Amino acid sequence: MPIDVAKVRADTPGVGNILHFNNAGAALPPRSVVSTAVRHLEREAEIGGYEAEQEAHGRLEAVYASIARLLNCDASEVAVIENATRAWDMAFYSLPLRKGDRILTAMAEYASNYIAFLQAAKTKGVEIVVVPNDNHGQIDVAALSRMIDERTKLIAITHVPTNGGLVNPAAAVGRVARRAGVPFLLDACQSAGQMPLDVEVIGCDMLSATGRKFLRGPRGTGFLYVRKSILEKLEPAFLDLHAATWTSKDSYKLRPDARRFENWETNIAAKLGLGTAVDYALALGLGDIRSRVVSLAGSLRRRLADIPGVSVKDLGAEKCGIVTFTYEGREPEKMRTQLRAKRINAWISGPSSTRLDMEDRQIPMLVRSSVHYYNTEQEILRFCEVVRSL
């Protein structure tokens, strides 16, 4: 059945307060996510934090099962981590990279990831190789295939960049990586929750994502997928008594599952809220979510393009719910402030988050508007009317 928009809006208190087009930043959570997290915090206050965690053990284990359903993997391949960047870091810094090894990445790579590449280049002597875009502005898969050699030890790309609606062809990249036998790390921070993510179809070995964006979960939640076949080759950069067991005076043993990338202390309330958010998305269906998000974003792009002076900047053969634009003679940061004064949330994106792409396209700053399935065509009309009037 198509998504019942009236029902999901009734489940989302925030839509009565604000026109929210900042879902790529943090989406509005449904009531069930809020109540799950608050209920656990109240329980901690009633009986104690450790005791409340023990009481919630079964529900905590169910969070892993839910994420496994979301990704089509085994629950043992899932780690729940405090955010997507830390999840990505835990995967990347566990790779045994050495001097002369090559990392292949894309033009639209996210700043935090690229900074990690630069640190590895500085401290280990690895080489960063940027694969060019194709005519659609997405990673050129044919070029990627040609650029792989015996020194290539990692392919790492961002699925959906923070500064646009582009969806990189992750499954095509995965096929290239598998043929070459090169590990593939996918940053799915902006794609999780707005489209299906099947790690078997994509072919990635590692995948990181957040809870706060299109999954509509609490801030301070994220997760990491690590394929079983690569798990034993990876040792996290730091360990604790949760990730490993102190087996004797001078030895330890890593956990056999992906939870070796976690640490003992965690936000239990937020973790339970993340599980509720994943279950909410699964109940609606990620295919139906994608269809509605793509339709709304397409409408927003068309209406913005009709405004004189507005230039929509999204690249890619496939596009998603992030819509970026510039407005001639108007500063994006000032526009964000003006929109906020009208009870409309949007965001801005500058070179510091995706420097290679922004500098290549010579774009100093963008307005980023990102829709979700609970948004409506009426909200798109209002947004465009306000933009036109600025």
In this structure, the answer to whether residues 16 and 36 fall within a common structural domain is no
In this structure, the answer to whether residues 273 and 309 fall within a common structural domain is no
Q: Which of the four pLDDT bands, split at 50, 70 and 90, describes residue 255?
A: very high
In this structure, the answer to whether residues 149 and 271 fall within a common structural domain is yes
- Final residue of a domain: which of 242, 261, 283? 283
Distance from the first to the final alpha carbon of the chain: 39
Sign of dihedral through CA atoms 247, 252, 255, 259? Answer: positive
Q: What is the pLDDT of residues 141-200, one digit of tens each?
A: 999 999 999 999 999 999 999 999 999 999 999 999 999 999 999 999 999 999 999 999
Q: What is the pLDDT of residues 303-321, one digit of tens each?
A: 999 999 999 999 999 999 9
Q: How far is residue 213 from each of residues 23, 296, 342, 348, measured CA to CA in Å?
A: 6, 17, 23, 15
Average pLDDT over residues 66-88: 98
Give the per-residue pLDDT at 51. Answer: 98
In this structure, the answer to whether residues 346 and 241 fall within a common structural domain is no
In this structure, the answer to whether residues 12 and 95 fall within a common structural domain is no
Q: Which of the four pLDDT bands, split at 50, 70 and 90, describes residue 376?
A: very high
Q: What is the pLDDT of residues 210-246, one digit of tens each?
A: 999 999 999 999 999 999 999 999 999 999 999 999 9
Task: Count CB-CB contacts under 10 A for residue 338.
Answer: 17
Place of tokens 């996510």: 33
In this structure, the answer to whether residues 23 and 59 fall within a common structural domain is no
In this structure, the answer to whether residues 25 and 109 fall within a common structural domain is no
Give the per-residue pLDDT at 52. Answer: 98
What is the CATH number for 362? Answer: 3.90.1150.10
Size of the chain in residues: 390
Q: What is the pLDDT of residues 110-130, one digit of tens each?
A: 999 999 999 999 999 999 999
- Final residue of a domain: which of 248, 265, 283? 283
Domains contained in the chain, number: 2
Give the per-residue pLDDT at 189. Answer: 98
In this structure, the answer to whether residues 130 and 142 fall within a common structural domain is yes
Q: Distance of alpha carbon 311 from its chain centroid, rounded?
A: 26
What is the CATH number for 142? Answer: 3.40.640.10
Query: Does the structure show a pLDDT above 80 at 1?
Result: no
Give the per-residue pLDDT at 259. Answer: 98
| Cα–Cα distance for residue pair 344/8, rounded to 1 Å | 19
Average pLDDT over residues 254-279: 98
In this structure, the answer to whether residues 121 and 257 fall within a common structural domain is yes
Give the pair of three-digit tokens for residue 9: 């809006």
Give the per-residue pLDDT at 180. Answer: 98
Give the per-residue pLDDT at 53. Answer: 98
Give the per-residue pLDDT at 106. Answer: 98
Average pLDDT over residues 290-294: 98
In this structure, the answer to whether residues 24 and 38 fall within a common structural domain is no
In this structure, the answer to whether residues 86 and 160 fall within a common structural domain is yes
| Cα–Cα distance for residue pair 215/213, rounded to 1 Å | 6
Give the per-residue pLDDT at 62. Answer: 98
Across the chain, what does the average pLDDT equal?
97
- Final residue of a domain: which of 283, 299, 329? 283
Give the per-residue pLDDT at 318. Answer: 97
In this structure, the answer to whether residues 68 and 199 fall within a common structural domain is yes
Angle between helices 377-389 and 332-341 (to 10 degrees): 120
| Cα–Cα distance for residue pair 48/264, rounded to 1 Å | 17
Average pLDDT over residues 293-298: 98
Give the per-residue pLDDT at 291. Answer: 97
Angle between helices 268-284 and 31-47 (to 10 degrees): 150
Domain residue limits at 12: 5-29+285-389
